[in-house]
Amino acid sequence: MGLWAQEDVDVVAPGFIEFEPDHMGSLGFIAVQAGIDWRDAPRSGCPGVEFSWEGFDEGDHTTGRGWAVIEEDGALRGHLFFHLGDDSGFRAERTGEEP
């Protein structure tokens, strides 16, 4: 993530973002755990999504939005926004656990 060092992103558990086929998903990083509601939204000719998220940050309720695209190398690149707060770009790679 652009705003936080990788060791901070992974402080509680390895950072992740997941998009399930039912337009739901989840994300986690630092002390944030949240559910995702996503929709297809291609960007610049690349497959992509826009999403809202809702969850908790150190026990406090928090919400936000974001977007992500699949790059040519298969990595996911996007941006995450906290409602009325920080925002950060991110890059994620498949762990090999899913097809």
**Angstrom distance (rounded) from CA 65 to CA 83:** 7
End-to-end CA distance of the chain: 24
Q: Which residues pair with 36 in a beta bridge?
A: 25, 53
Where residue 65 falls among pLDDT bands split at 50, 70, 90?
very high
Q: State pTM to two decimals.
A: 0.86
- Domain ranges in the chain are 6-92
Q: In this structure, what are the phi and psi dihedrals at residue 71, rounded to the nearest 5 degrees?
A: -80, 165
User: Which tens digit of pLDDT belongs to each residue from 73-93?
Assistant: 989 999 999 999 899 999 999
Longest dimension (CA), the chain: 38
Alpha helices in 1-99 (DSSP H): 6-9
